Structure formats: structure tokens, C-alpha cells
Amino acid sequence: MVRTPLTPEERERGERLGRLLREARGSRSMAEVAASAGLSAETLRKIETGRAPTPAFFTVAALAGALGLSMDELVGRCSPSAPLAA
């Protein structure tokens, strides 16, 4: 099966998600947060760096729970109209 290439907007949304997750993780290690969410550290690394710009819903939900973020906040801050953090 051939995947349709991502649009620039989808790539940007993935980058925004990665930045938000890195910020929310703070000083906690990637391995600690990934384990808390039931993911591998490599999966979290790919999401945070934008190499996996369209993670599965349940992956995002697990990370949101581990980081104390609401899904509404993630959606709002990852939308193209959301302001970028400095």
C-alpha cells in the first residue's frame, strides 16, 4: 500500500505536536514519559522530532495522559492558526 504524501499543513501540525510534547515533558526523560504512556522511547523520539508527524489517536491520547495535557489543548495548540511558542 502506498501512502499519500503529507501536505505541508500536516507536516507543520506534526512539528507543532512535537514541540508541545517536548515542552510538556520538561525535565523528565524521554524514556520515563514513554514508559508512562506505554510507548517506546523511539516512538516518542520520532513524534517529538517530527519524523512521525501523524501518530495514531491512541498514541497521542496516551502521551496526553502521561503529560497531564487535555486532548482539547493539544488540538487547539497544534492547529495551523495557533500561535507558535517562542
- What residue type is assigned to position 26 of the chain? G
| Helical ranges in 1-86 per DSSP H | 8-25, 30-37, 41-49, 57-67, 71-78
Looking up residue 37, the CATH number of its domain turns out to be 1.10.260.40
Instruction: Kindly state whether residue 1 falls inside one of the protein's structural domains.
Output: no
End-to-end CA distance of the chain: 39
Instruction: Kindly state whether residue 39 falls inside one of the protein's structural domains.
Output: yes
Instruction: Kindly state whether residue 84 falls inside one of the protein's structural domains.
Output: no
CB atoms within 10 A of CB 2: 4
Instruction: Kindly state whether residue 41 falls inside one of the protein's structural domains.
Output: yes
Q: Domains in the chain: how many in total? A: 1
**Consecutive sets of 10 residues in the chain, 86 residues long: mean pLDDT of each?**
84 91 95 97 94 92 95 84 55
- pTM, rounded to two decimals: 0.83
Predicted pLDDT of residue 86: 47
Predicted pLDDT of residue 33: 97
Predicted pLDDT of residue 22: 94
Q: Which domain holds residue 45?
A: 8-78
